[in-house]
Amino acid sequence: MSSSAGSPEDQIQAVIAAVRNTPYEGVGAALAAQLKAVDQWAATVKDNAALVASAQVARAQLQAQQRMLDVLQNESEVVAQAMLNAARAMGVPGA
């Protein structure tokens, strides 16, 4: 980061905030909406085994994406906390 971006304290706070403030809720809501749409579609094609199988695959993929999002969110918080701890250890005021 350049010195024109603010003090080192401001810079580290901005980086930590960026890691913590990723729009996980928005992505989670989008995945939930897609999952609901797949479930609704599956209900409409319940008499077609091939389409039901396709819906099941789509559902499994969306559920896997939801789990990956949960892991990413948890790992991002761990990274943010580690960055904060490192900043404190280096004596960055306000960290």
Q: How far apart are CA 80 and CA 3, in angstroms?
A: 22
The residue ranges of every structural domain in the chain are 7-89
Classified as helix, coil or strand, 90 is coil
What pLDDT sits at residue 2?
Answer: 47
Q: Of 17, 21, 20, 12, which Cα lies nearest the Cα of 86?
A: 12
Q: Global pTM?
A: 0.74
Is residue 4's pLDDT more than 60? no
Each residue's pLDDT tens digit, 49-83: 999 999 999 999 999 999 999 999 999 999 989 98
Tell me the per-residue pLDDT of 40-51, one tens digit each, with 9 for 90 and over. Answer: 999 999 999 999
Residue 18 CB coordination number (10 Å): 11
Residues above pLDDT 70, as percent of the chain: 93
Given this model, what pLDDT does residue 6 score?
A: 78
CB 42 within 8 A of CB 56: yes
Backbone φ, ψ for residue 7 (5° rounding): -70, 160
